[in-house]
A and B are shown apart, each in its own frame.
Chain A
Amino acid sequence: MTMLEVKNLKRTFTTKDNMFGRREVKAVRDVSFTIPDGGVISFIGESGCGKTTIGRIVAGLETPTDGTVLLDGIDIHRANPKERRELMRQIQLIQQDPYQALNPAHTIEEALAQPLRLMAKRKAGVSNAWIQDRMAEVLSLVGLDPAAILYKYPHMLSGGQRQRVVIARALTVEPKVLVADEAVSMIDVSLRLGVLHLLRNLREKLNISVLFITHDVAASRYLGRDGKVFVIYKGMIVEEGATDTVINGPTHPYTQALLSAVPVLKGLEVPGSQRFYVEKELSQDGLSEEGCLFASRCPFATAECRRQLPPLAGDSHKSACLYPYERQVTARMLD
């Protein structure tokens, strides 16, 4: 069953008037995807590719210029305010920086009690004891000891613990969808996998759907191994498919460039035989609206690529390239 369906999402930002007039930045261009009930999908891309904007639109923080976001069949951006509040509860966003997501002047107990008090009001006939029980429950779900953490302030916790508190707070309102935007990239390496592991467990235990936004291909593989991967470039999906299919056999040059850029551990792995580097950087200016958006950076681009924009084509493994071709760029583990 489909939990979340996004159809033809578009978002254009207009810059302020200046001496050059207004400029339009197409942050999201025609993006469609679905997340199954209890399923997981990951968005991969560089910073500035629009993946965060898509996450914010899905979480209701941003209004799309065009397109629809359907949660259980209801359009979250066109629902009436009362419905919308209820829908917003069901989608929770976990942001990148756990240092800024918590109020430094509130203890963890206060941070968790606030949403729970609202929940208690909705559920008629529950007592204060319910709030206490629920707090302990969500904290143990995220692997924290309630007695050792409730009285603390955010500054007394490590990055990993803070992110767990942020996740616990999201869980207090019993969401159906979690949007995790770079949720582990600011956490120390040794603790990162722990948080990824937690998100994976929550999915399995509570049947929560996860939209995982990241630039770390390996992290998306860990959290979303049974899901799908969407590779985003300049607000467009350039490749999509089952996680392992895309990582092991990418057909779009941009996906291949991303996979080539993953460092190879000497002695443990061998680099893919067709690994290549992209020299140029992503830029928003001087964009010609014609042709493939990646053509100016693509080492395999032809004259034809600069003329027409390739559509996202294919059955289960789709690629938006005129010449989709599988290259061996992914590092292989040595035995």
Chain B
Amino acid sequence: MNAELQLIDAQTAVQVRGLNVVYETTQGDIPAVQNVNLDIRKGQITGIIGESGSGKSTLVMAMMNAVAKPGRVASGSIEVSGVGDMMKLSTEQQRRARSTELGLVFQAAQNSLNPLRRIGHQVLDLGRSHGVKDLRALLRKAKDLLERLGLDADRVLTAYQHELSGGMRQRVGIMFALVLDAKVVILDEATTALDMLSQASVLQIVRELHEERGLTTILITHDMGVVGDLADRVVVMYAGCIVEEGVTQEVLTSPKHPYTRGLIRAIPRISGDIDKAVPLSGSPPDMNTYKQPGCLFADRCPLAAPECQQSRPPLLEVETGRHVACFRVNDHA
């Protein structure tokens, strides 16, 4: 296993190579994630942005090797720093890696908590299933974390999930992801169901915890604002492929893929000239989009050339630390 560990450098927390995930249907396999190569850098906040159906959630579920049926990881490797290739570990080793190395905060925290058990009991359940010896210490840790998250820890630990508000449940979800000292925290649309004010305060907490604990944070969202505010690096997904990846600031100020450019332009802002916001044309990818051989964005792309219809552009490094999958990356309008 040590030999495998040396494959990924010290800067990388999770290394994804040649990942393909398909969903099996009666009409054949539908690709959900296609040929994804991605390095999640240690100590940074990486934002993964895409529309519904772009494969962003499937990608992180694959990172934990926890894709639910009818989904299936068709090929690829996921090297997690300090653990090894998630695809090659035994089921038991994978189970241990989740929570202790990789912590996941689900989109709807209310669906990830057991409605029949008090939060404190669920913390103990988690401890037992991961073989924690000192359960008292675990509870103390949970309590500290909850207080750090701005909650009344005693009340929360003795409460059932229905007694908590959406924002509180989301914070409890963050506590569960961190209580076993996970080094990589994945937030899957963790603020989408929240109100603006709770969203802002949960994001602020994520930012603070990230720095205090030296975490590696992965943020999945469809909201460019959340990524733009919080993430160090951004990964843009479209129809299961990564189309652009780079430092947030650079991607926002000079997007190189036509989809990224269109997406940024399509967000109305609260300052500046509101009429600069232009809707993105065309319709989102469907079943037929995946079947075409060319670039998946070609039929919505203002720059599409004949070659774009014929073959799919690979994700190439165009500048240091900046990857774009587009044939016409150099001649944009």
Which residues of A are in contact with B by a Cβ distance under 8 Å?
Answer: 46-47, 158, 160-161, 188-194, 196-197, 215, 217-219, 221-222, 225, 247-248, 257-269, 277-279, 281-283, 330-333
Closest 5 CB pairs of A and B: A333-B272, A263-B225, A261-B200, A265-B228, A267-B249
Known contacts A265-B252, A266-B249, A277-B204, then 8 further A-B pairs from the complex at CB < 8 Å, ordered by chain A residue: A188-B51, A188-B222, A196-B268, A197-B279, A215-B196, A262-B196, A278-B197, A331-B271
Indicate if the CB atoms of A219 and B268 lie closer than 8 Å. Answer: yes
The answer to whether A278 touches B201 (Cβ under 8 A) is yes
**Which stretch (B121-129, B136-144, B174-182, B259-267) binds chain A?**
B259-267
The smallest beta-carbon distance between A96 and chain B, in angstroms, is 13
Cβ contact within 8 Å between A262 and B225: yes
Contact A189 B224 (CB under 8 A): yes
- Distance of A315 Cα from B226 Cα, bound (Å): 36
A-B contact pairs, 25 of them (CB 8 A): A46-B196, A46-B197, A158-B284, A161-B283, A188-B222, A189-B223, A189-B266, A190-B51, A191-B280, A193-B268, A193-B278, A194-B280, A222-B274, A258-B197, A262-B196, A263-B223, A264-B229, A266-B228, A267-B252, A277-B200, A281-B167, A282-B195, A330-B271, A331-B270, A332-B271
For B270, the closest partner residue in chain A by CB is A218
Assess the B225–A265 pair: CB atoms within 8 A: yes
Among the listed A47, A217, A267, A277, which residue makes an inter-chain contact with B201, where contact means beta carbons less than 8 Å apart? A277
CB distance from B234 to the nearest CB of A (A): 9
Whether B51 and A47, one on each chain, are in contact in the complex, defined by CB atoms closer than 8 angstroms, is no
Query: Which of A194, A218, A248, A258 is B269 in contact with, Cβ under 8 Å?
Result: A218
Contact of A259 among B51, B270, B278 (CB under 8 A): B270
- The number of chain B residues with a CB under 8 A from chain A is 45
A191 in contact with B200 (CB, 8 Å): no
Asked if B6 CB lies within 8 Å of chain A CBs, one says: no
Give, as a whole number of angstroms, the nearest-CB distance from A69 to chain B: 27
- Distance A218 CA – B204 CA, assembled complex (angstroms): 21
Residues of chain B having any CB pair with chain A under 8 Å? 51-52, 150, 165, 167-168, 195-201, 203-204, 222-226, 228-230, 248-250, 252-253, 262-263, 266-272, 274, 277-280, 283-284, 286
* A268 with B253: CB separation less than 8 A: yes
Closest beta carbon of chain B to A270's beta carbon, Å? 9
* B284 and A191 form a contact (CB under 8 A): yes
Q: How far is the CA of A194 from the CA of B262 in the complex (A)?
A: 12
Give the chain B neighbours of A191 by CB distance below 8 A: 279-280, 283-284
For A190, the closest partner residue in chain B by CB is B280
In angstroms, how far is the closest chain B Cβ from the Cβ of A175? Answer: 24
- A261 near B271 with CB under 8 A, answer no
In the complex, the answer to whether A257 meets B197 with C-beta atoms within 8 Å is yes
Q: Known contacts being A191-B279, A263-B203, A267-B250, is A215 close to B195, with CB within 8 Å? A: yes
User: Chain A residue with minimal CB distance to B253?
Assistant: A267
Most B Cβ at <10 Å: residue of A189, A221, A225? A189
B201 touches A158 (CB 8 A): no
B224 interface neighbour in A265, A278, A283, Cβ under 8 Å: A265
- Residue of A at shortest CB range from B272? A333
Q: How far is the CA of A158 from the CA of B271 in the complex (A)?
A: 30
Contact of B266 among A190, A259, A264, A281 (CB under 8 A): A190
CB distance from A3 to the nearest CB of B (A): 24
Q: Which residues of chain B come closer than 8 Å to A264, judged between CB atoms? A: 225, 228-229
By a CB distance below 8 angstroms, the chain A residues around B228 are 263-268
- Alpha-carbon separation in the docked complex, A265 to B251 (Å): 11
Nearest A residue to B231 via CB reads A266
A331–B252 CA distance with the chains assembled, in angstroms: 16
Closest to B52 in A: A188
Candidate in A217, A225, A268 with the most chain B CB atoms within 10 angstroms = A268
Closest approach, in angstroms, between the C-beta of B197 and any C-beta of chain A? 5
Known: A193-B277, A218-B267. A188 touches B284 (CB 8 A): yes
Docked complex Cα distance between A332 and B269 (Å): 10
- Check B229 against A222 for contact (C-beta < 8 Å): no
With A46-B196, A193-B266, A268-B228 given, is the CB distance from A333 to B223 under 8 Å?
A: no
A281 near B200 (CB under 8 angstroms)?
A: no
A218: B residues at CB distance < 8 A? 267-270
Q: Are B201 and A279 in contact (CB under 8 A)?
A: yes
A191 to B285: give the CA distance in the assembly, Å.
12
Q: How far is the CA of A264 from the CA of B248 in the complex (A)?
A: 12
Instruction: Please indicate the chain A residues that have their CB under 8 angstroms from the CB of B262 in the complex.
Output: 190
Residues of A within 8 A of B165 (CB): 281, 283
Partner of A189, one of B51, B196, B229: B51
- Distance in angstroms from B27 CB to nearest chain A CB is 15
Please measure, in the bound complex, the distance between the C-alpha atom of A259 and the C-alpha atom of B283, giving whole angstroms: 31
CA A258 to CA B274, docked complex, whole Å: 19
On chain B, the residues within 8 Å of A221 by CB distance are: 268, 270, 274
Taking a contact as CB atoms closer than 8 A, the residue among A194, A259, A331 that contacts B279 in the complex is A194
With a cutoff of 8 Å between Cβ atoms, the chain A residues found around residue B270 in the complex are 217-218, 221, 247, 259, 262, 330-331
**Which chain B residues border A46 with CB–CB below 8 Å?**
195-197
A282 / chain B contacts, CB cutoff of 8 Å: 195, 197
Residues of B within 8 A of A189 (CB): 51, 222-224, 263, 266-267
With contacts A194-B279, A259-B270, A331-B271 known, is A268 near B200, CB below 8 A?
Answer: no
A265 partner residues in chain B, CB cutoff 8 A: 224-225, 228-229, 252, 269
Q: Which residue of B lies closest to A195 (CB)?
A: B279
In the bound assembly, the distance between CA atoms of A213 and B168 in angstroms comes to 26
